[in-house]
Structure 1
């Protein structure tokens, strides 16, 4: 009799355990095989309610997945990228709301020559809800962050160093954009949050992961199902994640794709291997002449004619920055490995001009003021190796 009760107890325990894990086993057994490579879109709406009517898409990410290569590629697409659609030129962040996800999907497919299978559209409230599941989430804050906006109910006060944030604090961190880098800095913080949440998910128990997947499915507009999202999670656990940069050119308030460089990005997305290419030095030149009557763009292009190995960006907007005097020339070398080469190049092309060297460590206020000026005028300073303020036409 005791033996029979013992056996019944074991059987009952097995039934309880199997009932607990049956949903997972059922999903796992019926999972669809994800194509390789596999691409999907992630759209972020600048609201805390995905069903709220908004006029623009705040962030657009193209994600590529290769289980064979154990890699995931994430390409942020600038909001101000100009595209042509139905004889109309508009920013890409207006396409989804005006024309729908299918039209946006086709435009991005045509640009990057890949087949996009799925999409996920989220609002920033999702950061808060997923963050609460894994809280406290460890985030490194590079410098003190403080901002109060009672209209948006946004209250930020983070200290430099490692911070352990709850869901609401993660939302504040991801939405913060009031630093020298503007939207570029905000994109970096969103990357930080995504990496932190993925790291937490990889090291969490199954119940939290399943709950997170359920939350994503029910809190977003998407074309996924439970099985596919779980498959993506399993691939993510063992994959290297790389963020790509789109090669762009700034034209006024807009962004255009650099057609000479986009082929490298497309090849990277298809092969999941960084293509070899000849490295160019990115030089940003700013007009610092107060009453320059000629075309700074034309004169500068002529001066840098036949500049082999350089990518030239010209900013014809007079900066008004404390500590920067108009009609004087300044030089910032962001990439030290090019210092000797760029100094020689400037000596040849600007032989009659004396440049004051601004060191970011010794003069951080001046340096970040210039970076903020460029960012405020929609210029990408992350890729610049050298920044030159030209204060004389000599």
Structure 2
């Protein structure tokens, strides 16, 4: 059997390697502290579960339109209007099997071989791989730690070529938690409008934002920005529905039609009863979300303080999501390790703490710590990290 070049070029997941080792240790009865989770540790709110169960009991278990049920697309339009000041019709909405599937569809719909997509560093691990799977070429632009890991309009302009089709904007960001300001987004939008570049705005963490920071959808800045943007969002992070696999895109009807056509030949439709759960998530009480957000903010504050107290580790306080992106270059050097990957591997083996090295995000001097776990686990894990780094 011959494998395609497209799958051969994919990079192995650093997350999976760490997770596999952590699971192996857990099976041996070892107390492993996992700080790598990319999902809330809360269960899906009960009213959402109840809505999905009711849908199944009512026989809503059959195929739907590839774009999703009309009621859900209408609810998404209302959400985008109320929360983001964006006006879309249901025909401009595509519901898919998670925001990851939405992104995959977008790249498949817009890229021909050799087309380029600008990917800011640090990046979510799947962005460059999905571009490659569409025969595109990721072009990396580094967001400096001194600028809270955000790229500038000037950097973007320098990276654009005649093959550039799109730029990815992820605010709040995975893995950094950084949030772009309205002014920063306007400067980026101005460049994209001038050059005719599509902005792929991944807003999956928009509800998890702290310290009075403002989430701005770049599509809301002007009519021109709206016409140059496709908005990506979903249920996973705000409603702790990671396993339900419901995400959506909002954009031009031409692009949405192409995405829906692609879905019709790949997955048929998003899981039917999960769509009814998503409908309830949008229409129902938002109290569980607010409770979760409050808890995340308390954890974030504690984790930043604890990490910055460790000699050789420093981090900025993120304004969104549920990750800390900490610089461990001094700790790695002090410990005599070849790189952060080796440092993280030995940390797991010696102190039984699993976290994600930054190499998977294009930032090899950093680690990603998720505070989507209990305060007790966070405190235990960071105490072990401190002992490991300081040799105590």
Question: Is the pair's TM-score, using the shorter chain for normalization, greater than 0.5?
Answer: no
Greater relative contact order, per chain length (Cα 8 Å cut-off, separation 6+): 2
